[in-house]
């Protein structure tokens, strides 16, 4: 009877970890959405709410790490369960860094709210793109869909190109009008942070592929 109870507890811990990863991803996605909206709407108060949630993300990361270590130490999982635990440890790190980047964007939103508006139509598109990448990467992990994960890898190219377009456009603006330099730097930083969120979503997708197919596709863009 003790063994049966242990197995049930073990399965419950794995399910708890899976649930925590999904919830953490959802909350981080909400932070990204709100941070971009704060930039576009010039809403410093909304940006503040994003910054205030950073402590929650840090706590979730620590709790997930502790749960992973508990399972490793107590049950010494093998095969696919061991792969799941080791990947979960990497995933929470990427999710925490995405949360940090959302905070970085929110901080830029606060500064931009105090300045004369500057056109940055590409920023909302980049925000939607990286949020879709994040959502698809997590979904691929949850449902075991390697093809969906590979689509995330391909989507990263468009985000990179958007960033380069923003960078080139802002450079031209700042060179033509030095008065725009401060605002231009803030907007360029937002675009760069979004591009880095896309990179972390790509990491998540690569981990999903490894979880499903046992294939390491890091540095092999498109898997």
**Stretch among 44-48, 61-65, 120-124, 140-144 having the lowest mean pLDDT:** 120-124
Q: Could you tell me if residue 104 is inside a domain?
A: yes
**Stretch among 6-10, 65-69, 186-190 having the lowest mean pLDDT:** 6-10
Q: Which pLDDT value is given to residue 116?
A: 85
List, as one string, the DSSP characters of the chain. -HHHHHHHHHHHHHHHHHHHHHHHHHHHHHHHHHHHHHHHHT-HHHHHHHHHTHHHHHHHHHHHHHHHHHHHHHH---HHHHHHHHHHHHHHHHHHHHHHHHHHHHHHHHHHTTS-----THHHHHHHHHHHHHHHHHHHHHHT-HHHHHHHHHHHHHHHHHHHHHHHHHHHHHHH-GGGHHHHHHHHHHHHHHHHHHHHHHHHHHHHHHHHH----TTSTT-
Q: Which pLDDT value is given to residue 180?
A: 92
User: What is the count of structural domains for the chain?
Assistant: 1
**Stretch among 31-35, 115-119, 131-135, 185-189 having the lowest mean pLDDT:** 115-119
219 — pLDDT class (breaks 50, 70, 90): low
Q: Could you tell me if residue 113 is inside a domain?
A: yes
Centre a 10 Å sphere on the Cβ of residue 94 and count the other Cβ atoms it contains: 22
Structure tokens at 117: 């508006």
Please compute the mean of the pLDDT values over residues 93-97 and round it to a whole number: 98
Condensed to tens digits (0 to 9), the pLDDT of residues 117-134 reads 877 779 999 999 999 999
4 — pLDDT class (breaks 50, 70, 90): very low
Q: Which pLDDT value is given to residue 222?
A: 44
Q: Which pLDDT value is given to residue 223?
A: 42
Q: Which pLDDT value is given to residue 199?
A: 98
Q: Could you tell me if residue 221 is inside a domain?
A: no
* pLDDT above 60: residue 152: yes
Asked if 203 and 25 touch (Cβ cutoff 8 Å), the reply is no
Asked if 216 and 141 touch (Cβ cutoff 8 Å), the reply is no
Q: Could you tell me if residue 52 is inside a domain?
A: yes
Q: Which pLDDT value is given to residue 64?
A: 96
* pLDDT above 60: residue 28: yes
Report the CATH number at residue 200.
1.20.58.220
> What is the per-residue burial (b if ≥16 Cβ within 10 Å, else e) of 165-188?
ebbebbeebbeeeeebeebbebbb
Q: Which pLDDT value is given to residue 221?
A: 54
Its domain, for residue 71, covers 2-213
Q: Could you tell me if residue 87 is inside a domain?
A: yes
**How far is 49 from 140, CA to CA, in rounded Å?**
29
Which of 218 and 78 is assigned the larger pLDDT?
78
Asked if 188 and 111 touch (Cβ cutoff 8 Å), the reply is no
Q: Could you tell me if residue 218 is inside a domain?
A: no
pTM greater than 0.75: yes
* Rg of the chain on CA atoms, in Å: 20
Mean pLDDT across the chain, nearest whole number? 92
Q: Could you tell me if residue 188 is inside a domain?
A: yes
3 — pLDDT class (breaks 50, 70, 90): very low
**How far is 57 from 97, CA to CA, in rounded Å?**
9
Please compute the mean of the pLDDT values over residues 57-61 and round it to a whole number: 95
Q: Could you tell me if residue 222 is inside a domain?
A: no
**Stretch among 79-88, 125-134, 151-160 having the lowest mean pLDDT:** 79-88
**How far is 81 from 204, CA to CA, in rounded Å?**
18
């Amino acid at each position: 009877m003790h063994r049966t109870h242990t197995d049930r507890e073990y399965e419950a811990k794995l399910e708890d970890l899976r649930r925590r990863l999904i919830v953490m991803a959802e909350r981080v996605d909400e932070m990204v959405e709100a941070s971009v909206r704060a930039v576009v709407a010039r809403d410093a108060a909304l940006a503040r709410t994003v910054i205030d949630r950073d402590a929650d993300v840090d706590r979730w990361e620590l709790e997930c790490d502790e749960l992973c270590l508990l399972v490793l130490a107590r049950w010494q999982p093998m095969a696919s369960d061991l792969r799941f635990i080791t990947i979960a440890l990497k995933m929470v790190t990427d999710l925490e860094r995405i949360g940090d980047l959302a905070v970085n964007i929110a901080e830029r939103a606060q500064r931009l709210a105090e300045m004369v508006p500057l056109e940055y139509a590409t920023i909302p598109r980049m925000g939607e793109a990286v949020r879709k990448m994040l959502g698809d990467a997590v979904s691929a992990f949850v449902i075991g869909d390697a093809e969906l994960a590979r689509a995330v890898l391909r989507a990263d190219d468009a985000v990179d190109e958007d960033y380069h377009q923003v960078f080139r456009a802002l450079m031209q603006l700042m060179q033509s009008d030095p008065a725009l330099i401060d605002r231009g730097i803030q907007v360029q930083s937002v675009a760069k942070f979004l591009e880095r969120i896309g990179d972390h979503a790509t990491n998540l997708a690569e981990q999903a592929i490894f979880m499903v197919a046992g294939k390491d596709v890091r540095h092999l863009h498109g898997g």
